[in-house]
Structure 1
Amino acid sequence: MRKFELIAPCHFGLEAVLKKEIIDLGYDVTLVEDGRITFFGDEEAVSRANVFLRSAERILIKVGSFHAETFEELFQGTRSLPWEEFIPSDGKFWVAKAASVKSKLFSPSDIQSIMKKAMVERLKGVYHVSWFEEDGAPFPVRVFLMKDEVTVGLDTTGESLHKRGYRKLTAKAPIAENLAASLIMLTPWRGDRILVDPFCGSGTFPIEAAMMAASMAPGMNRSFTAEEWPSVVGKRNWYDAVDEAREMVDLQIETDIQGYDIDDAMVSIARENAKLAGVDKLIHFQRRPLSQLSHPKKYGFLITNPPYGERLEEKSALPALYKEIGERYASLDSWSMYLITAYENAERDIGRKADKNRKIYNGMMKTYFYQYMGPKPPRRQNLPDGR
């Protein structure tokens, strides 16, 4: 079975979460950089990483790397890579995305155009043709330039891994599924603990939590670009990965996961998305304003993405909203609260400094993940009969 060097991009600030996921999946991490993890794996690893990783953006097969400060060096470096080991004569290939940081070459369109020409030149010599129909399987390429070092990868995923396939309907400003999953994994929450999202929108936090509780792999119900590359990743690997995922699912578990929203339409959307994800029986969605947030039990978790004033007219309402968040949290007995927001005065208006504060980039937007830690619940004592 072929061995690959694989690259998994992720949200900036969440590299440690993805690194742990990859190690837990059984693979050796070789490099941790801002926004991406590199690890070794075989054909099976390509399919399993796509199906099982919750926090990754996509999985790339590293084709090669080289130094380039001029377009001529970019052309020659690209042409020297072994494209024929991956792309057949009828393959459709293009540079889908180019990103450049602190490099002399910085124009994405020029980088994409020159690399495409170099790939054509290489493959013309290998396949002895002067023209490619490109009517076969797609082979999108992604390239990163960092301080003039060029890293080139083939995108095995296609649509970003945050697209699990369940969210057909969304809120105005939905949180990405992989970001929501990553944030949950940063907390001590487990499936047997209480979780409430008082600003659930289209239901992403509760749905991702329910999928985790049920051991449901995030990619088991979607397709991937590399499924069309049987000469690179054999089809049996995809079947095996999905079979493995299906065997792990446990929908008989008991959960206390709740999502509230003030908008009836959002509650309906969240319910439909949960149904599409197959976890609707594990979540209770309800129309409920923040002012009615309460729970009789101790040691629960608030995990949420409250409004943070994307529109100018909403900003004036934020101090009162965050003050109310603080008040409702204070009324919950021994709970923890985790919230992600770009609102800079969140701690001031909540009325309490967070125990931890983590900077995370949501796309290009700088946000903060405020972590208010409640006490740990007491350990369960064994009963006399050994239970």
Structure 2
Amino acid sequence: MTQERFDIFLTCPPGLESALASELAENGFAKCRPGQGGVTIKGGWSDVWRANLQIRGATRVLAVVDQFKTQHLNSLAQHARQTPWQTLFHPGTPVKVEATCRKSRIYHDGAAAERVSDAIARTALAEISDDADMTVRVRIDHDEVTLSLDTSGEPLHKRGYKQAVAKAPLRETLAALVLREIGYDGRAPLLDPMCGSGTFVIEAAQLAAGLAPGRARSFAFERLATFDRNAFMTLRNQPPHARSQAICLGFDRDPGAIRMSGENAERAEVSDLTQFSEGALKDLARPDGAPGWVVTNPPYGARIGDKSAVFSAYKAFGEVMRERFSGWRAALITTDDKMAKATGLAFDTISAPIDHGGLKIRIYVTGALK
């Protein structure tokens, strides 16, 4: 599969597949097919590199190496030995294999992984190791086998700039998809009144600045035999295409969170497009200039300590929005419909449930506030 086009599967939280498909289409990727937990596109290795480097919402980028149907372990082993692993791995490359079996005659994950591991070791002379950074994923679903190579390595929310995080941080990839889902395009101001370590603010600023989300990190595909470093560096060194100079603002009552946010923004190269200030929600003032978006990730689920205090925070958020943010739009994510209703805000749209760390969250979005 060194030259031809093949299936590439980009994973995301279930419930946000359409948002990821929209981002891929906007970035020129062809034949985007949303499915459960991600989007499939067709492409070659340069598309794999570009997707890892430029797509904000994907959790991982999987290159589909082979697909076939089988009901027996011996047949799985035979097919896997015919897969061109030797074109992918340099001899001695550490590789681990992970398998999941669902509603199939082959039902033992470990046995399936063992057969594929043996095929890779024999044909590519790779070193099979549970500690390897390079992962081959075996998925057997209703006797349909998909062999995929995880080209990302570490999950793509690890952008390479966030060394400091607040309690229960929002993942950057989820924040990017939430922003796309609500219609934020980087051309308007954005404010997060409970910003934590600044994820929404920094993601919005990077979008406005046109900075590639993966520019400061490495990827597993850089260790593959298919990798062309010169071609990738040409891609990585392309100048950014800024959308606006809109300022993105973060507020939090925790001085430690404000310090962390500022440090993260500086490492992310968007300190000139961001401002972070310490303050209580009740003291939040409307920024000067044109209306924009208020987007926040207030406490919910396991982050709730004193539930009555949290309800008070949601109520205060709604009061501040109605009293001071006429013309702005507001969006929040939470697991609890009652908490969203405690804001007293009228929501134009409420998203379908989205899987987030074992919780089901929804995005609540207002129209322009009166």
TM over 0.5: yes
Residue matched to 1:270: 261
Deviation at 1:27, TM superposition (A): 2.3
Q: Is the 8 A contact 1:309 1:315 kept in 2?
A: no
Larger mean Cα displacement after TM superposition, 15-24 or 284-293: 15-24
1:292 equivalent to 2:283? Answer yes
Structure-2 separation of matches of 1:223 and 1:83:
22
1:315 equivalent to 2:307? Answer yes
Q: Is the 8 A contact 1:98 1:108 kept in 2?
A: yes
Matches within 5 A, 1:149-228: 149-228=144-223
1:315-362, Cα deviation, whole Å (9 max, x unpaired) = 332322211121112121122111111123123212245211112111
1:254 equivalent to 2:238? Answer no
Residue matched to 1:385: none
Deviation at 1:269, TM superposition (A): 0.4
1:170-209, Cα deviation, whole Å (9 max, x unpaired) = 0110010011111111223343422110110001100000
Residue matched to 2:227: 233
Larger mean Cα displacement after TM superposition, 157-166 or 346-355: 346-355
Deviation at 1:89, TM superposition (A): 2.7
Structure-1 separation of matches of 2:237 and 2:217:
13
Structure-1 separation of matches of 2:205 and 2:314:
27
Q: Is the 8 A contact 1:227 1:238 kept in 2?
A: no
Residue matched to 2:120: 119
Structure-2 separation of matches of 1:176 and 1:218:
13
Structure-2 separation of matches of 1:190 and 1:36:
21
Residue matched to 1:32: 34
Structure-1 separation of matches of 2:84 and 2:311:
57
Larger mean Cα displacement after TM superposition, 337-346 or 367-376: 367-376
Q: Is the 8 A contact 2:168 2:303 kept in 1?
A: no
Provide closer, same or farther for how the CA distance between residues 68 and 174 of structure 1 changes in structure 2, counting only shifts above 3 A.
farther
Structure-2 separation of matches of 1:68 and 1:317:
56
Identity, % of aligned positions: 33
Deviation at 1:20, TM superposition (A): 2.0
Matches within 5 A, 1:342-381: 342-358=335-351, 359-374=353-368
Structure-1 separation of matches of 2:128 and 2:75:
26
Structure-2 separation of matches of 1:14 and 1:222:
24
Structure-1 separation of matches of 2:308 and 2:116:
49
Amino acid at match of 1:225: A
Structure-1 separation of matches of 2:3 and 2:208:
34
For structure 1, the residue ranges without an aligned partner over 5 or more in a row are: 377-387
Structure-1 separation of matches of 2:127 and 2:301:
49
Structure-2 separation of matches of 1:277 and 1:311:
26
Q: Is the 8 A contact 1:309 1:318 kept in 2?
A: no
Residue matched to 2:294: 302
Structure-1 separation of matches of 2:232 and 2:332:
36
Provide closer, same or farther for how the CA distance between residues 191 and 87 of structure 1 changes in structure 2, counting only shifts above 3 A.
closer
Amino acid at match of 1:16: S
Report the 3-state secondary structure (helix = DSSP H, G, I; strand = E; otherwise coil) of the residue aligned with 2:210.
coil
Q: Normalising to structure 1: TM-score of the pair? A: 0.86
Q: Is the 8 A contact 1:7 1:36 kept in 2?
A: yes
Amino acid at match of 2:278: R
1:45 equivalent to 2:47? Answer yes
